[in-house]
Amino acid sequence: MKYEFPEGLYTDVRIEHVFQTHIKYTKRDLQECKEQKYSAAFVRVYDGDMWYYASTSDLDGIQGEIDALAAIASKHPAIDKVPIYKNLSGHKDVVMSFIGREVSGVPLESKIGLLSKLMPKIEENKYVKLYTLTYLDNYTIKEFYNSKGADLNFDWQTAGYVARISMLDGERKMQCAYRNAGIHFGEIQTFEEELGKELGECQEFLLNSEPVEPGKYSVIFAPLVTGVFVHECFGHKSESDFMIGDEATRKEWELGKRVGGDELTIAETGDILGSGYTPYDDEGNKSTMTYLIKNGLLTGRLHNAESATDLGEHATGNGRAVNFEYEPLVRMTTTYIDKGSKTIDEIIAQTENGILLKDVAHGSGMSTFTIAPTYSYLIKNGKIDKPVRVSVVTGNVFEALTGIDAISDKVEVFSFVGGGCGKMAQYPLPVGFGGPYIRVKNMNVQ
């Protein structure tokens, strides 16, 4: 055993070995360029009534932290009979998915050189007045041990960059972003075609977009917008710690309740390689495939050990902390709407009066939601008509789910660098999301 765990208490230790790179340019002016490497740990002790926490960057002092927390806890003679104890696991496993492709092994000069290749491509467009380029990567190895015998080692990695671009033509302004993210450095080398499309679409909106006529429309979400919707506007509602002590929310989230058509399925899992990859959570519980909605019915919710115990269910592997300084909360990993049966061409052809949302600048919500799109197109008589400027699309989450009347037959799941999911004080937590194209009836468009 790596540590001596006190009897009569539950104890776990989470160790993180982290490598990170952060490079930022404003146009060709280098603003930031740094690599960081550290190791640190989070220690928990539970006595059946209370949790006791400590974080430390002194790995040699972990045993001392365990002993200090144990000294202030009250030993429980039957800790193994305490309900929450049963939702904590003793898994032993090694899952190293990125050995040989670690971003820590890529020279800093290569990362700078990648951004340098983007600059002339962006500057070719005469309407570009300002841009920033940010490169980020992270390679993390986690160790996890607990008093139930857990012994885990697994790794996680992302790499990517974001170009934020401002275009100007007289009084007209347009802002857009090109993102390229993956799980290793070699995956993000190709950008010319996609960056060219982004610049072309941004220019088209700058020069030719018109204000949308406010009203109710059938709205088609592109896969990225579907992902934002399912994460911000539905996924957070499935985080079951919101339901602890809240009978109204539990009733709203009653399993078996119909909330959509037979084709609607929403899934959540940490097993997809990408920014939401989490083979084991920060409590040592294994990732599961959780169907939040299956064939239009509410069928599941996300749990850490505490929320699973409170609701009489099983932990789902969603106890996650943003880093070693924080305790695990119920958090998403990768959340997506599953595929349907129509092609996107069929969905557009069957839409008489609608809006297509291609990208999104911002999304938020719980029971009600707001999506602010970047690119939107008017659809008339089954054809894409013209670019229109949409400020926001709003609605009620459950009404929107019920209003989904078409789902395309291909799913895209996205990874990200920069930003992340926020909850309470913990931001930014890496997640993934996505889905197919979906069409939602009677949405408020402004």
The CATH number assigned to the domain holding 153 equals: 3.30.2290.10
Q: Is residue 2 part of a domain?
A: no
Bridge partner list, 216: 444
Instruction: Answer yes or no: do 185 and 261 share one domain.
Output: no
Backbone φ/ψ region at 208: left (φ over 0), alpha (ψ -120 to 50), beta: alpha
Q: What is the mean pLDDT of residues 361-372?
A: 81
The pLDDT of residue 2 is 87
The pLDDT of residue 1 is 60
Closest residue by Cα to residue 340 from 223, 219, 441: 223
Instruction: Answer yes or no: do 326 and 261 share one domain.
Output: yes
- Give first-to-last CA distance, the chain, whole Å: 61
Supply the DSSP string of 277-337, one letter for each residue. --SB-TTSPBP--EEEEETTEE---B--HHHHHHHT----S-EE-SSTTS--EE--SEEEE
Is pLDDT at 159 greater than 90 in this prediction? yes
Q: Is residue 59 part of a domain?
A: yes
Which residue among 164, 186, 208 closes a domain?
208
Instruction: Answer yes or no: do 63 and 125 share one domain.
Output: yes
Which residue among 192, 208, 224 closes a domain?
208
The pLDDT of residue 419 is 82
Q: Is residue 3 part of a domain?
A: no
Backbone φ/ψ region at 125: left (φ over 0), alpha (ψ -120 to 50), beta: beta
Radius of gyration of the chain (CA): 24
Average pLDDT score over the chain: 96
Please state, in angstroms and rounded to a whole number, the distance separating the CA atoms of residues 39 and 142. Answer: 10
Instruction: Answer yes or no: do 155 and 264 share one domain.
Output: no
Instruction: Answer yes or no: do 150 and 221 share one domain.
Output: no
The pLDDT of residue 252 is 83
The pLDDT of residue 441 is 95
Please state, in angstroms and rounded to a whole number, the distance separating the CA atoms of residues 375 and 82. Answer: 53
Instruction: Answer yes or no: do 155 and 192 share one domain.
Output: yes
Instruction: Answer yes or no: do 39 and 143 share one domain.
Output: yes
Q: Which domain holds residue 78?
A: 10-208
> How are the residues of the chain apportioned to helix, strand and coil, as percentages rounded to the nearest 5?
25, 40, 35
Is pLDDT at 329 greater than 80 in this prediction? yes
Instruction: Answer yes or no: do 158 and 250 share one domain.
Output: no
The pLDDT of residue 368 is 83
Q: Is residue 5 part of a domain?
A: no
Instruction: Answer yes or no: do 172 and 26 share one domain.
Output: yes
Question: Token pair for residue 55?
Answer: 């974080």
β pairing state of 215-221 and 172-182 = unpaired
Q: Is residue 254 part of a domain?
A: yes
Instruction: Identify whether the C-beta of residue 54 lies closer than 8 Å to the C-beta of residue 48.
Output: no
- Whether the full predicted model's pTM is greater than 0.85, yes or no, is yes
Residue 367 banded pLDDT, cuts 50, 70, 90: confident
Strand order in the sheet with 334-337: 297-298, 290-294, 266-269, 334-337, 432-435, 412-414
Q: What is the mean pLDDT of residues 396-422?
A: 94
β pairing state of 210-211 and 383-389 = parallel
Instruction: Answer yes or no: do 36 and 184 share one domain.
Output: yes
Which residue among 179, 208, 237 closes a domain?
208
Instruction: Identify whether the C-beta of residue 271 lies closer than 8 Å to the C-beta of residue 296.
Output: no
Is pLDDT at 132 greater than 80 in this prediction? yes
Instruction: Answer yes or no: do 177 and 237 share one domain.
Output: no
Is pLDDT at 212 greater than 70 in this prediction? yes
Phi, psi of 233 (to 5 degrees): -105, -10
What does the pLDDT look like over 45-82, one tens digit per residue? 999 999 999 999 999 999 999 999 999 999 999 999 99
Q: What is the mean pLDDT of residues 400-415?
A: 96
Instruction: Answer yes or no: do 184 and 233 share one domain.
Output: no
Q: Is residue 229 part of a domain?
A: yes
What does the pLDDT look like over 280-308, one tens digit per residue? 999 999 999 999 999 999 999 999 999 99
Please state, in angstroms and rounded to a whole number, the distance separating the CA atoms of residues 229 and 111. Answer: 32
Q: Domains in the chain: how many in total? A: 2
What does the pLDDT look like over 224-252, one tens digit per residue? 999 999 998 889 989 999 888 888 888 88
